[in-house]
Amino acid sequence: MESMWLKYTLLVEQMTEDLFVAEVLGSPYTLGWVEPQIEILTTENGYDYAENTEGPVVAYLFEPKQDSEEEHVARLQAYISRWNGQVQVKEVEQVAEENESWKDEFREVRVGNWWVAPSWTDPQLLADAEHVLWIDPGAAFGTGYHGTTQDILLLLQEMDLTGKVVFDIGTGSGILSLFSARNGAQHPVWAVDINPESEYQVQVNAANNELPEDAVRVVIGDASDAEVAAQLPPQADLILVNIGGDENVSMLPLIRERIAPGGQIILSGIVDWNREAVLAAFEEAGFQKETERHSDEWVTVLMKNTAVNHFVTTV
């Protein structure tokens, strides 16, 4: 029996487009493409076409159909509710897995000394690649196309992760967790996401990379919630947060509590016009900027904990 997928057509207000795309790229949904709405105009010569520069853009998302369509749509509606009406579902349709034209949207991409590639990539294309991180966007985000993900990967490649306890907050498909697990971080790497489907997606991609089952442990929920935080180790050497500027700041209490003395954090998903406010909050909490990277309007910052240790051991 052929596997089925759900294809969602969404209308996204243009003021929300960049943030929406950035977050979806880190979610278990596969982003196919985004395009402007086209208006058909009547002219003296017949018809003409024009982009609607004021109305919403059209975004196409995909995910494997594992439950009833109603259950999938209910989860999608819950997911997009955070945008307060700026994102609307226009159409839902089922497509066969054999209809693989969407895979053309996802190709191998080089990030520093590594390649990130879906499992259907022709092996000959990467025959000379020294390092390949295998991530199927059919299971979740993972191509590494977005600048925030690439910039974090570039920073991680410059770090010695050997034996480090790593938290990955907003893990999505686990691309950053899996990279850390493959590069010496202590197993398990702790991956946190609010989407309950992330656990399955991370497992798929861990298998793609032939990692043991205990390489990454997924915790479902909001990391700032006490019950979720209680499932994490009491201390981390490195914390990765790629969920947006304000969301980075909302994680500051957890980060201050759990980061080891001299530990490092990588913050991303920050837009350049919010950079100063985010950095100020973390600097006030005792973090010192070590370096930062920019991709278009997106900012990624590596910071070090220079404050007095906030970790408290209970007896």
Q: What share of the chain is helix, strand, coil (3-state, %, to 5)?
A: 30, 35, 35
Q: Taking a C-beta distance cutoff of 8 angstroms, is the pair 224, 246 a contact?
A: no
| Residue 167 to residue 254: CA distance in whole angstroms | 11
Token pair in block for residue 143: 């191509």
Q: Is 149 annotated as a binding residue?
A: yes
- 242 belongs to an annotated ligand binding site: yes
Q: List the structure tokens of 82.
A: 């955070």
Half-sphere exposure of 287 (CA within 13 A, CB side): 29
Task: Give the Cα-Cα-Cα angle 208, 214, 217 (nearest 5 degrees).
Answer: 90
CA–CA gap between residue 246 and residue 160 (Å, rounded)? 28
CA dihedral 262→23→175→240, nearest 10 degrees, is 0
Half-sphere exposure of 243 (CA within 13 A, CB side): 23
**94 contacts: CB under 8 Å, gap ≥ 6:** 4, 5, 6, 7, 65, 69
- Cα separation, 212 vs 203, whole angstroms: 10
Residue count of the chain, please give it: 315
Q: Please tell me whether 42 is known to bind a ligand.
A: no
Report whether 209 belongs to an annotated binding site.
no
Per the annotation, binding residues are 149, 170, 193, 242
Per the annotation, binding residues for S-adenosyl-L-methionine are 149, 170, 193, 242
